[in-house]
Amino acid sequence: MPPRMQRPTARQQLQDDASASRRAPTALLDSWTRPVVRGVLPQVDGGTRPAKATVGERVKIEADAFIDGHDALWCEVRYRHESSRRWVSDRMEASVDDHWYGSLPIETTGRYQFMVRARIDAFARWRDELRAWADAGQDLSTHLATGATLIEAAAAGARAAERRLLEELALAVRQAPRGLDSLVPAGRMARLREGPNSGDATLREILLSPRLASLMGPLADPSTKADSATYEVMAVLEKARFSTWYEMFPRSASASGHGTFADVRGHLDYVEGMGFDVLYLPPIHPIGLTARKGPNGTPAAGSDDVGSPWAIGAKEGGHTSVHPQLGTLADFRDLLDAAASRGIDVAIDLAFQASPDHPWVREHPSWFRQRPDGTIRYAENPPKRYEDIYPFDFESPDWRDLWTALLDVVRFWIDQGVKVFRVDNPHTKPFAFWEWLLGVVLAEAPDTIFLSEAFTRPRVMEHLARIGFTQSYTYFTWRTSKWEIETYFTELTKSELAYFFRPNLWPNTPDILSEELQTGGRAAFISRLVLAATLSSNYGIYGPAFELQEHVPRSSGSEEYLRSEKYELRSWDIESPTSLRRFIALVNRIRRDHNALQYNDSLRFHWTDNEALIAYTKARALDTDQDLVLTVVNLDHNNVQSGWVGLDLEEIGLRSDVPYIAHDLLSDARYVWNGKSNFVQLDPANVPCHIFSLSQPARGNGDVP
């Protein structure tokens, strides 16, 4: 049985309660119903915002549904796409504690509405009583007559083919000469029996068959229904759920001098070869000269210093222009086409800020916050000063014109062919702005992806996801111990966050060189890559710094790189024999080959007897089997660590009485494991990780070789 998610608050449950007592007493007398439906999942903010999904998946729907007394219920998910007026119903299954499970198939992008409906299933209770009376040897004549009446009532609401079938069955029940042992001739009713649809069947076989129950359930008396509130799911394309990002500075794509879009095209084989499907470029716009930063962010720049790409705008143009040394808009579109032919989306940076040289500073000075002396305030994050950047004033008297201009920036790049945006520091702009902009853009271009780069407080980060951002940066970079990783990712995948927050894990960024990567050597880069690639279905790296294991900080205690690429051109030896490119390609191929790693909902951590070892599985049902992947990582980058890994076999779909194969997808080694506890040893001098594919023969297919 799938794990239950965090329950809604009592306040949210009352909103779902089909018989909530806040209705006026007289209304209750007119419209009361016995079933109760509450606690529907998924829901976000009490149902005021949509949950998220992607095309091709089935969204798990859950609810508590129950009734007074001993009557049985028939529960179903009812759903429709925003483009349709017709509701579709799918049966739900119940657990022993009145908790029901169903699903909503996502077939196209857009919004889906869904609700949960419960009805009294009088026939199900009748069947249970029939079985009990029959087992006790009681006279069944009266009970069979009651059943015939129930079947006739259901027939009245059935479609033509089912109506004739049920009327025929009701007549057979009324005329049964030997009760349940009476034979029903083969024919139309043969479809109701289990097994081969040929030969006569006893009335017992037909009345107690699951097929008849499935036919009768949807025909339960509609006057007894109770409906939950209606909720929404926002569906987008698969890449929102499963993507692999590679970040590179286009100006460093040349072996000598300033790189161009043509040079980036020359790197596409390299990016594709490592298995990335999103190529993210930091800002590609003209860079201001005023207060330009020098190497390592120093305030004094020389005449040859290229400045920070995030200081957007110069005499050549602003947010809808490209840096002339990179090429032209036509060159950029050529890059998009070349990448698309390889299955790669080019993502660009949305950095809504300006250099002092941006045309808007001259044309729209009211869009910027001014000091009392009339000068424009530059950006500050004490003790840091960004004299080369002016933040926009989103609350200026002309805020409507500013907001519209920024929306037009997004539309402009979508018109060029961009479908993916990484958004710089969205938490420093109003939530209302983003909710408005994202709502407009996603209505016009629903296949657009927005990645929120919001390293900020948890509730702020989460709210940005609620209001429309497709994916989100996380605190993964700073979660390093076993306890921190397990706690954080349990929260991300087993709470309400799972309904709207899509984590995108980055071991490094141009802004963040973590202490682990500074001090952990090659083993740290490998283990952090494997953790990012297997804990989340979305992850990315900043390269070539990552695969070449760039690890020297600007100063002790700093997370800034020495000779940061944010402020100067870098030349990278991507053919270096020490590069991790082949290992990265292997990990990304494993991600593509194993459907389990393309989702987050099945993530389950497992016991180890060594705190330096972390173990977790992901699973996904296949047509005839399941894809089950176990990852084990040594979190100690300096020492060999070994220990026992304890798996909850039955919960992950393995039998405890049969051996199973653990196939290490990194080394291609195969091991025969028995029982829930098995031994592992990981050496950071080699590969400090296992990514196992676990498999077991089906029952009756012999033993594991």
Q: What is the pLDDT of residues 68-91, one digit of tens each?
A: 999 999 999 999 999 999 999 999
**Which of 357, 388, 453, 496 is labelled catalytic?**
453
> Residue 447's domain is classified under what CATH number?
3.20.20.80
Q: Are 32 and 19 in contact (CB under 8 A)?
A: yes
pLDDT, tens digit, 9 for 90 and up, residues 452-475: 999 999 999 999 999 999 999 999
pLDDT, tens digit, 9 for 90 and up, residues 520-539: 999 999 999 999 999 999 99
Residues 472 and 561 in one domain: yes
Residues 436 and 472 in one domain: yes
Q: Are 540 and 504 in contact (CB under 8 A)?
A: yes
Q: Are 591 and 597 in contact (CB under 8 A)?
A: yes
**Which of 247, 424, 516, 565 is labelled catalytic?**
424
Distance of CA 444 to the CA centre of its chain: 22
Q: What is the domain count for the chain?
A: 4
Within a domain: 469 = yes
Within a domain: 227 = no
Residues 187 and 264 in one domain: no
Q: How far is CA 359 from CA 317, 320, 376, 691, in A?
A: 6, 11, 14, 52
Would the pLDDT of 10 be above 60? Answer: no
Residue-wise DSSP of 688-699: -EEEEEEE-PPT
Answer yes or no: 453 catalytic: yes
Within a domain: 384 = no
Q: Considering only 126-135, 221-230, 350-359, which range has the smallest mean pLDDT?
A: 126-135
Domain stops at, among 236, 263, 282: 236
Residue-wise DSSP of 588-626: HHHHHH-GGGG-STT-EEEEES-TTEEEEEEEEE-SSSE
Residues 581 and 640 in one domain: no
Within a domain: 417 = yes
Q: Where are the beta strands (DSSP E) in 55-170?
A: 58-66, 73-81, 88-91, 93-94, 99-105, 110-120
Within a domain: 197 = yes
What is the Cα–Cα distance from 279 to 595, expressed in whole angstroms?
Answer: 22
**Does residue 390 sit in helix, strand or coil?**
strand
Answer yes or no: 424 catalytic: yes
Residues 605 and 507 in one domain: no
Tell me the mean pLDDT in the region 127-147: 88
pLDDT, tens digit, 9 for 90 and up, residues 490-513: 999 999 999 999 999 999 999 999
Q: Are 662 and 671 in contact (CB under 8 A)?
A: yes
pLDDT, tens digit, 9 for 90 and up, residues 677-688: 999 999 999 999
pLDDT, tens digit, 9 for 90 and up, residues 438-458: 999 999 999 999 999 999 999
Residues 418 and 550 in one domain: yes
Within a domain: 375 = no
Q: How far is CA 92 from CA 57, 233, 621, in A?
A: 17, 18, 18
Residue numbers of the domain that contains 182: 123-219
**pLDDT confidence tier of residue 271, bands split at 50, 70 and 90:** very high
Q: Provide the b/e sequence for 25-42 (b: ≥16 CB within 10 Å).
A: eeeeeeeebbbbbbbbbb
Residues 433 and 311 in one domain: yes
Residues 143 and 16 in one domain: no
Distance of CA 607 to the CA centre of its chain: 25
H helices of 342-430, in order, are 359-363, 399-416
> Residue 176's domain is classified under what CATH number?
1.20.58
Within a domain: 336 = yes
What is the Cα–Cα distance from 35 to 391, expressed in whole angstroms?
Answer: 55
pLDDT, tens digit, 9 for 90 and up, residues 210-258: 889 989 999 999 899 999 999 999 999 999 999 999 999 999 999 889 9
Q: Are 606 and 616 in contact (CB under 8 A)?
A: yes
Q: Where are the beta strands (DSSP E) in 98-254?
A: 99-105, 110-120, 183-184, 201-202, 226-227, 231-236, 243-247
Would the pLDDT of 11 be above 50? Answer: no
Listed residue (200, 154, 149, 151) closest to 178, CA to CA: 200
Would the pLDDT of 22 be above 60? Answer: no
Q: What is the pTM of this model?
A: 0.91
Residues 97 and 159 in one domain: no
> Residue 42's domain is classified under what CATH number?
2.60.40.10
Q: How many CB atoms lie within 10 A of CB 179?
A: 16
Tell me the mean pLDDT in the region 300-322: 96
Would the pLDDT of 128 be above 80? Answer: yes
Within a domain: 374 = no
Q: Provide the b/e sequence for 501-518 (b: ≥16 CB within 10 Å).
A: bbbbbbbbbbebbbebbb
Tell me the mean pLDDT in the region 354-371: 96
Residues 85 and 168 in one domain: no
Percent of the chain with pLDDT over 70: 93
What is the Cα–Cα distance from 195 to 197, expressed in whole angstroms?
Answer: 6
By residue count, the chain amounts to: 705
What is the Cα–Cα distance from 415 to 441, expressed in whole angstroms?
Answer: 12
pLDDT, tens digit, 9 for 90 and up, residues 590-601: 999 999 999 999
What is the Cα–Cα distance from 468 to 97, expressed in whole angstroms?
Answer: 35
Domain stops at, among 205, 236, 267: 236
Return the pLDDT at 705.
47
Q: How far is CA 625 from CA 398, 695, 697, in A?
A: 60, 9, 10
Q: Are 59 and 104 in contact (CB under 8 A)?
A: yes
- Across all residues in the chain, what is the average pLDDT? 92
Q: Are 339 and 279 in contact (CB under 8 A)?
A: yes
Domain stops at, among 236, 266, 284: 236
Return the pLDDT at 340.
98
**pLDDT confidence tier of residue 359, bands split at 50, 70 and 90:** very high
Residue with tokens 């000598």: 256
The letter for the amino acid at 86 is R
Residues 293 and 307 in one domain: yes
Residues 132 and 72 in one domain: no
> Residue 628's domain is classified under what CATH number?
2.60.40.1180
Would the pLDDT of 109 be above 50? Answer: yes
Query: Per DSSP, what are the bridge partners of residue 608?
Result: 645
**pLDDT confidence tier of residue 27, bands split at 50, 70 and 90:** low
Q: How far is CA 433 from CA 242, 319, 361, in A?
A: 27, 18, 20
